[in-house]
Amino acid sequence: MLNTLWINILNTGLSLLLFLIGLMGLLTQRNVIKQVFGIKIMLQGVTLGLVQAGRLHNDLYFAQAMVISALIVEAVVIAVALALIVNIFRYYPSGDIDDLNRLRG
């Protein structure tokens, strides 16, 4: 019983830690590719949190369905982000977010 409690705390803490590391990377980095990596780390934390929530509520089938849905959404987000990165690097080879202010119009 005590062992299961520590595993639950560890999994929940790890998912929160992954999410916060990704959020910190997203907010502090100025390079577009590094920001996409931050988003990817955040999504992995959310996926781990979904699995842990399903484990805590003894409903692993629903958790697996949610994780598969999250992975599909993650793939779409990364594909769109990579398409935007290609266009950003075409016009701004440095990839710095601060240079994108000139795109307003």
pLDDT digits (tens, 9 = 90+) for 51-94: 999 999 999 899 999 999 999 999 998 999 899 888 878 877 77
Rama region for 48: left / alpha / beta (φ>0; ψ in -120 to 50; rest): alpha
Interacting residues of 104 by C-beta distance below 8 A, sequence separation 6+ = none
59: DSSP letter:
-
Closest by Cα among 91, 97, 76, 90 to 33: 97
Average pLDDT, stretch 47-52? 93
Q: Where are the alpha helices (DSSP H) in the chain?
A: 2-28, 32-56, 60-91
Sketch out the chain's domains with CATH numbers.
2-97 (1.10.287.3510)
Q: What is the pTM of this model?
A: 0.82
